[in-house]
Structure 1
Amino acid sequence: MTSSRDEARCTGRGVPPGRGPYDVGCGDVMTDIVEPGILLRLFYPIDRTDQGIPLEVRPPWLPSDHYAEGYANVGGVKCLGSQVKSLLENIKLPVWWHGKLSESKAKYPVIIFSHGMGGCRTTYTSICMDIASCGCVVAAVEHRDNSGCHSFFIKNTSDDKPMATNGDQQLLQPNYQAVDFIKAPYEDPELRLRQITQRRDECIASLNFLEVLDDGLNYESDIDKDFDLSEFKGRLDLSSAAMCGHSYGGATAIATLSKEKRFKCGVACDPWGYTLSLDESFRCVDQPMLIINTEKFQFKDNMEHLLCLMPDTEATSGSRQMITIRGTDHQCQTDMGFVFPYFLAKLLNMRDKLHPRVAIETNNDAMINFLSQYISLEKGAGMMKFNAMSNPLIMIGHNVNMNPSPWWKRRADKK
Structure 2
Amino acid sequence: MVATSLIQRLLWVCQYPGFSKSLLGPYENVGVIQGRIPSSAACQVFYPAAADSTSNKSLPYFRPRAVQGLAEYSGMDPNLFQFLSWKRHPCQVHAPPAVGEFPVVLFSHGLGGCLEMYTDICQQVASSGMIVVALEHEDGSGCFAETADGQEIRYKSPSSKEPYSRNKVVNFRKDFLEHRAREVTRTMEFFLGGWKDEKNLDMSSNGVYETTTDVWKQVLEKVDTKKGVALFGHSFGGASMVYTMQREGQDQTKVLDGVNSVTMLDPWAFALDKKLIEKGSQSSVPYLSVLSEGWVTNPETEQVLELHVDNPDNLYYMPHSRHASFSDSPWWLPRVITRRFGLRGKKEARHETIAASAKACINHMKASIKCYQKGGSITEMDTSGLAPLLPFPYSTTELKLPRAQQLSSQKM
AA matched with 1:396: F
Deviations, residues 214-262 of structure 1 (Å, cap 9, x unaligned)? 5363512112452522224543122321100000001112222335232
Partners of 1:71 and 1:233 in 2: how far apart? 30
AA matched with 1:130: Q
Deviation for aligned residue 1:108 = 0.9
Q: Number of residues paired by the alignment?
A: 352
Partner of 2:60: 60
**1:59–1:212 CA distance, 2 compared to 1 (3 A):** farther
1:145 aligns to 2:139 (yes or no) = yes
Native 8 Å contact 1:246 1:268 kept in 2: yes
AA matched with 1:97: V
**1:30–1:405 CA distance, 2 compared to 1 (3 A):** closer
Partners of 1:13 and 1:26 in 2: how far apart? 18
Native 8 Å contact 1:254 1:268 kept in 2: no
Alignment partner for residue 28 of structure 1, among 27, 34, 37?
34
Alignment gaps of 5+ in structure 1: 1-9, 156-175, 316-320, 377-383, 408-415
Alignment partner for residue 332 of structure 2, among 302, 326, 339?
339
Partner of 2:171: 190
Higher helix share: 2
Partners of 2:142 and 2:278 in 1: how far apart? 21
Native 8 Å contact 1:98 1:227 kept in 2: no
**1:372–1:280 CA distance, 2 compared to 1 (3 A):** closer
Shifted more, 331-340 versus 11-20: the winner is 11-20
Partners of 2:409 and 2:177 in 1: how far apart? 34
Native 8 Å contact 1:242 1:263 kept in 2: yes
- Describe the SS at the equivalent of 2:120: helix
Partner of 1:134: 128
Deviation for aligned residue 1:356 = 3.1
1:244 aligns to 2:243 (yes or no) = no
Native 8 Å contact 1:293 1:324 kept in 2: yes
Deviations, residues 108-135 of structure 1 (Å, cap 9, x unaligned)? 1000000000011111111111111111
AA matched with 2:155: F
Native 8 Å contact 2:325 2:354 kept in 1: yes
Partner of 1:168: none
Partners of 1:349 and 1:327 in 2: how far apart? 11
**1:151–1:101 CA distance, 2 compared to 1 (3 A):** same
Normalised by the size of structure 2, how large is the TM-score? Answer: 0.77
Question: Where do residues 82-161 of structure 1 align in structure 2 (5 Å cutoff)?
Answer: 82-85=79-82, 87-103=83-99, 105=100, 107-155=101-149
Partners of 2:18 and 2:186 in 1: how far apart? 31
AA matched with 2:330: G
Native 8 Å contact 1:258 1:282 kept in 2: no
Native 8 Å contact 1:366 1:386 kept in 2: no
Partners of 2:315 and 2:218 in 1: how far apart? 37
Deviations, residues 317-355 of structure 1 (Å, cap 9, x unaligned)? xxxx10011010100000112222333312221211212
Partners of 2:211 and 2:244 in 1: how far apart? 30
Alignment partner for residue 220 of structure 1, among 182, 202, 206?
202
Partner of 2:18: 14
**1:142–1:216 CA distance, 2 compared to 1 (3 A):** same
Native 8 Å contact 1:269 1:333 kept in 2: yes
Deviation for aligned residue 1:300 = 5.6
Partner of 2:301: 303
Question: Where do residues 171-210 of structure 1 align in structure 2 (5 Å cutoff)?
Answer: 176-184=150-158, 187-210=168-191
Deviation for aligned residue 1:404 = 6.0
1:276 aligns to 2:269 (yes or no) = no
Partner of 2:376: none
Deviation for aligned residue 1:307 = 2.2
- Describe the SS at the equivalent of 1:21: coil
* Aligned-residue identity in percent: 23
Native 8 Å contact 2:170 2:272 kept in 1: no
Native 8 Å contact 2:17 2:84 kept in 1: no
Normalised by the size of structure 1, how large is the TM-score? Answer: 0.77
Deviation for aligned residue 1:265 = 0.7
CA RMSD, Structure 1 to Structure 2 (Å): 2.8
Partners of 2:212 and 2:156 in 1: how far apart? 33
**1:216–1:100 CA distance, 2 compared to 1 (3 A):** farther
Partners of 1:246 and 1:75 in 2: how far apart? 18
Alignment partner for residue 406 of structure 2, among 400, 403, 408?
403
Partners of 2:222 and 2:45 in 1: how far apart? 14
Deviation for aligned residue 1:385 = 8.4
Alignment gaps of 5+ in structure 2: 1-13, 248-255, 371-381, 396-402
**1:74–1:282 CA distance, 2 compared to 1 (3 A):** farther
- Describe the SS at the equivalent of 1:308: helix
- Describe the SS at the equivalent of 2:296: coil
1:230 aligns to 2:230 (yes or no) = no
Partners of 1:182 and 1:309 in 2: how far apart? 27
Higher strand share: 1
Partners of 2:235 and 2:30 in 1: how far apart? 25
Deviation for aligned residue 1:44 = 0.8
Deviations, residues 289-338 of structure 1 (Å, cap 9, x unaligned)? 111000112346422212232235652xxxxx100110101000001122
Partner of 1:71: 70
Partner of 2:49: 46
Native 8 Å contact 1:13 1:339 kept in 2: yes
